[in-house]
Every structure is written in C-alpha cells, then in structure tokens.
Structure 1
Amino acid sequence: MNPVILVTFAGRQQRMEILTQYIRKALEAGIIDEWHIWDFTRSAEDRAWVTKEFGPVRFMGPNASYQHKGSVSRLSSFRTTAKIQSDLHIAIVPNDKTSDAYELVIGGWNNTHSALRRITEADLTSFSRDTHPLIWTRSTPGVLSPGLANHVVLNLDETGVPTLHVNGVMVGTWPDIQLPGGASIMVRGGWGSDLELCDVQSPVRRYVGNENESTPYWQAYSYYTKRLSAFTDAVFLKCDDDVVYLDLDNLSKFIAFRRDNPHYFIVSANVVNNGVCAYWQQEAGSLPATLGQFERPPGGFGGSLWQSAERATRLHDYFLGKTEKSLPLPSPVIDWHERQSINFIAWLGKDLVHMALPKCDDEYALTVDLPNYLNRPTAIYSDFTVSHLSFGPQENGLALERLIDGYDALMRTNLAAA
C-alpha cells in the first residue's frame, strides 16, 4: 500500500475551518488516506477546538498535558497499547465527582518503580506534584519495554476496586480505592518520554507537540524519520492551517505527479498568495498588471507581496472574482532552485531518510539546504491550485473577515457541486 498522508501544523480555528471541510471531502473520496493534525496551538481556545474537532490522540510529546483516552467501569476495562520508554502517566477521574482523582505512574524513576498518588482535576494541566505525596509505590524493574507496544489493562472488580496489569503482569491492586461509578481515563508521557498510543488507527488523528515551543515543527519531522520503515512507501502532503481554497478536482493529479517524479525533493502546489508563485503567475499572464508588479523574491524569500496586506487583499479579491479558479504558470512544471514558501508541498516517504531536522527553519531546510546537499531540484506544479490566506507581515491590515467569508462561500459552493 502507498498511503497518502496529509500533515497539518494546527491550528487557528477561524482560519482552519474552511480547510477542514475540503480535507474531509478528500478523505471521503479516497484521495487522502490519513490526516495527521499536529497540535502546535498557541491559545487555550484553539487547543480546545483542535481537541474537540480532530480524532483521537496518537502521539504526545513529553511535555504535553493530559489527553482523554477512554473510560473504565465494573463492566468494561480500560485497555490501550503504548510505546514509551518510561513514565507512563494514567489519570483516573471518578465519574461521580465525590472523590479525588488518582494518578498512576508506570515505569517512573528511569523505568524502575511504579507509584500512585491522589490529585485534583486541576492538577491535570500541571506537572508539579510537590504537594501530592505518594500513597503507594513498588519496585517494577523494566515494567515498560521500549521495543514494543506495551499492553496496559485497568479493570474494576464488582465493588469498583482497580487493578492494573502491564504486559500480562499485575502491577498493583488498591482495595482502599473504590470507583463504583467508573472513571474517565487520561494519559500522558513525561520526564523526557514521548508517548505513542498504538491502538489509535483513525484516519484523522492528533499528534500533540510540546506546548509553548517557539519553533516546534521539528517534532513532527523527528516523529516520521524515527519511523522510516512504516512510512517509506507513503506520499506526504503538508499544508498550512490557513489554506482556504483547494482544487479537489486536480489533487489526485498533483499526488500522481509527485509519486512519478522522484528526482524532485519537494513539489509545491501553485499557490495564491505566495511570492514565488505570484512571480511566475504574472510571467504567464495569469495576473494582470493592474494588480501591481509581483517581482521575483530575492533568493525566493520575502518580497513586496509577503510584506503587504493591501497587495494580498487585492490578489485574493482577484482570485475570488475569477470564474476559473486557476492561475496557470508559464509551463506545467517550474523547476526551482531557490527558497520557496511551503504552504502546500509534497514529498516522498522514502526521502524521510534525509529529513531528521533539528530545531531550525524547516522551510529553508526543505527548499534550500537539503536540495543543495542532495543535488535535487524542487518544483512548482501548475495544474493544482490552492489559496493561502496570509503571512505574518500581512496580518495587520488584511481584510480578514471579508476574505474568510468569501472563501467560505466558495468552499460551500464547490463541495455542494462535488
């Protein structure tokens, strides 16, 4: 199987809701197989929306807060399979709300001990436990195996007493705790340990990065490169969360071109509001001179469009007013050897062998450093058009609400006709 996996670094609700409708349609049509939502949100409101809107959590960075995973009752045990080196944390939150919550630490202290403590629900957003002493601990050397998906089972007996098994071994049972009404279960990693929940196979799934990192995107590339064997046959798409138009009719052609032309390292869509694409669109006569001159950005970066809310607004208005939603380039494919914005790009899974990026400018790495090192060009594909709402310097002064309303109406018209 050669799955098509879309990766999106999320997410701003106001900007991402339009994209969500396009991608769900692409999933429904079988054009895309999986959508991986990387939660790199910067506000509590956006984080709550991403958590509610997009599937179960598959992966959590070591500093990610607790995420809901399931429930346990006297009739139904809680089961999961987890890849983690140490410090698997499980929060047990009673449904009746009349007693404290509990936190199980499995394989803490460098995978040597397991422990239990009482906590409050407010503690679920914090890593500090200074005021919560352990109420149980025992030596559990090697309880978690880093080489497999560890089987974790928490069950309640007829009185609600919990018992925990890991990889077929009973870790503990706690007669002093009774949960007759069952409990909600939350999980996280911690203390340097990523957590991957291997039983999550939903086509739309969340990957929760460490919060409040200024350049968090390396976490996604690290995840995929460490799992090269699982993804080597895939075609990866990556799009910004503020892509507000997507030519679904030609998305399959774009994917096929990417698969059939492995000599390119990165292939970009033909993007509205992208400095390099705008230069070539105007060279081809697709953008009239009345919109102003769209110069070739120096070295492929920055330029007058990137800096100007007014120019971006005029360009979006022109595109929204066109009957044909395309801006052809001078040729079907533009070979490119400079930097370009990575608003919607594609790469081959086998090229993950080169993509173990550190904390860095991922755009420069993917479009300049790596292509130069590998002596492989990048490309822009003319026949697949997407529209990118804004760059940071364009934010102040952009006709944001009006443009989002226009693209929302376009999306609804397109999807109703699809």
Structure 2
Amino acid sequence: MIDGKRVIAWTPYGRRRTYSILIRHLQRDVERGLIDEVWAYMNTDPQGQEDDIAYAHELAAEHPGWFRIKHRPEGVDLGNLPKQRYTGLAYREMTDTDTVYLRFDDDVVYIHDDAITNLVRARIQMPAPTAVFPVIFNNAIVSHFLQACGKVPMEWGVVNAYCMDPMGWANGPFAVKLHELLLDHIERNAVPDLFLYQDFPIQPGTQFSVSCFASLGSMYADLDQPGVLVPDEEESWHTVHHPLATGAPNILRGDAIVSHWSFFPQHPFLNNTGLLDRYREIADKAVA
C-alpha cells in the first residue's frame, strides 16, 4: 500500500525465462510493503508451454499470501485472435476504485528500488492521464526522450518519437548498448544519473509500447461496462483511443526506471549476449 492506495502488480504471463527475474523484484517490493498482490494473468498455450505454466503454479504454492494466478474470463468468444490480443480482457478484474494497478510485461527484467513508489505516487497525484509510464529502457519513445536529455548518445543511432522506430524498436545492436548502459549504472549504484530532467507528456493518439504502466481501478470502474475495454486491444485503448476520448496526455515519469528485455527483431542479438545473466544476478540479490 502506498499513500492509502492498494497496489497490485500484474503481468500477461507466458515466459518463465524472464518472469523468474521479474518476480524477484516484485517479491522485494511486496516484502517492503509497497505491493499488496502480484497477479499472473495466464496468457499461455496449453501445449508447448508446460514448464512455463508449472512455474506459475510453483510460485502460487510458494507465496500463497500475495501471488495470484488469473485466467481469461469464461463465456467470452475469443475467436481466432492471436493470444497477444487476449490481454485486454484482464482489465475486467481491475475495477477496485482504491487500487493502483501496475502492468509489467513478463520480460521486464529490472525495477529500480524507487520505481514503484515514484510511479504510484505520480499516478495518484495525476488522475487525468489514462496511463503513467516509467522510464522503460528498451522502449523506442523512451529512448527518444533519453537522447533528448543527453542520457543516451545520438551516435548510437537517432531514435524518433515513434513506438516502432527502426532504431529504437528493431535494431538489436542498439538494444545491446542500452542494456549495457543501464547495467553499468545498476552495478555502480548510479541509476538516478539516468533519471530524466522532468516528466514528459505523451500526446493523445500516440501509440506507446505498454511494457509497463500504472493505471487506476476507478478509471476501469467508470467505463460503460466496468473493466470492458472498447476496443479490447489494450495498447491501442490505453495509448490511442482513451487518451483521444479524454483529451488528457499520458505521462512519462522521469524518476522511475525499469528495463524491458526485448522486442522480437532484437532477439537474435540479445540472446547471444550474457546480459540476461547479469540481470538475473541483480534480481537474485534483491531478495537475498
């Protein structure tokens, strides 16, 4: 709980490989009293992901006080959509008006010690935006602002304020450099040096990769059908449709830092490095 609001961290869950890193940071912040519950919203295939599914159930058995497994709602016609489209259905469970919900991709592999507190407080203090985002390393629009503030060198390749910018979204060597920069600061205990100078508004209608953001249960409760997004694709709803409907820009919070591992064009480059092992070592120390 932070400033009288319950805090629930949730993830469209699918990959043990990276979620086993994320959960260590979330456990740290549960033990610090910042997060009340952690939800794994199962977005897995019944065949081919048996190990991933088993890991979620292992966590539920190990942490019954705060870890919850959530499933897609019954009675909803899912059609033949790819499983990535199912995640918008999760918000039907997020209508508690006294709760701040924190969404994390299952390949967020680092959360700075102050990130949860700073992000949740920003969310409470600024109720108008649809979403409040942290500084997400390996997010194209965030990389654009990091370059504008002199935190990431332009010489690595200029990133424009577009969520699928060829450099910031698809370029593997650029992603490797970003992770190396952040890991160096983590290991030197110098992450605040990468904070942005201010919060930045994200203009309504600007698509933004939703690897991590904070939202309010009261917003979902006030929808025509509580918790039902229209359209139900969560990224479009949170970054394009609802901001355009309200006229309020989303906010990029400058003093909350997390790290997102990889977009699929970057996989061949990142998977051939030892960077994920460095993130795992850091995560293990978080709850040592």
**In structure 2, what is the equivalent of residue 16 of structure 1?**
19
* Distance change (3 Å), C-alpha of 1:401 and 1:365: same
The superposition leaves residues 219-251 of structure 1 with CA deviations (integer Å, 9 ceiling, x where unpaired) of 212333xxx3xx011111111111111012342
Question: Tell me, what secondary structure is at the counterpart of 2:175?
Answer: helix
**In structure 2, what is the equivalent of residue 220 of structure 1?**
90
**In structure 1, what is the equivalent of residue 191 of structure 2?**
325
Letter aligned with residue 376 of structure 1? A
Find the aligned partners of 2:54 and 2:44 in 1 and give their Cα distance. 9
Alignment of 1:28-177 (within 5 A): 28-42=31-45, 43-55=49-61
Bigger helix share: 2
User: Unaligned 5+ residue runs, structure 1?
Assistant: 57-200
Question: Tell me, what secondary structure is at the counterpart of 1:217?
Answer: helix
The superposition leaves residues 258-314 of structure 1 with CA deviations (integer Å, 9 ceiling, x where unpaired) of 1111122210010100001000001000012342222222xx444322112221112
Find the aligned partners of 1:278 and 1:364 in 2 and give their Cα distance. 20
1:205 to 50, 58, 68: 68
Percent same amino acid at aligned positions? 26
User: Unaligned 5+ residue runs, structure 2?
Assistant: none
- For normalisation by structure 1, the TM-score amounts to 0.59
Q: CA deviation at 1:11?
A: 2.4
Contact 2:27 2:287 in 1 (8 A): no
| 339-348 or 317-326, larger mean C-alpha shift | 317-326
Alignment of 1:229-308 (within 5 A): 231-297=96-162, 300-308=163-171
1:347 aligns with 2:215: yes
Find the aligned partners of 2:118 and 2:252 in 1 and give their Cα distance. 13
- For normalisation by structure 2, the TM-score amounts to 0.84
Find the aligned partners of 2:29 and 2:195 in 1 and give their Cα distance. 23
Q: Which one has the largest radius of gyration? A: 1
Say what the alpha-carbon RMSD is for the aligned residues.
Answer: 2.3
1:309 aligns with 2:175: no
Find the aligned partners of 1:44 and 1:276 in 2 and give their Cα distance. 35
Question: Tell me, what secondary structure is at the counterpart of 2:52?
Answer: helix
* Distance change (3 Å), C-alpha of 1:251 and 1:320: same
Higher relative contact order (CA 8 A, sep 6+): 2
State the number of aligned residues: 265
Bigger strand share: 1
Find the aligned partners of 1:49 and 1:358 in 2 and give their Cα distance. 32
**In structure 1, what is the equivalent of residue 262 of structure 2?**
390
Q: CA deviation at 1:400?
A: 5.3
Contact 2:28 2:286 in 1 (8 A): no
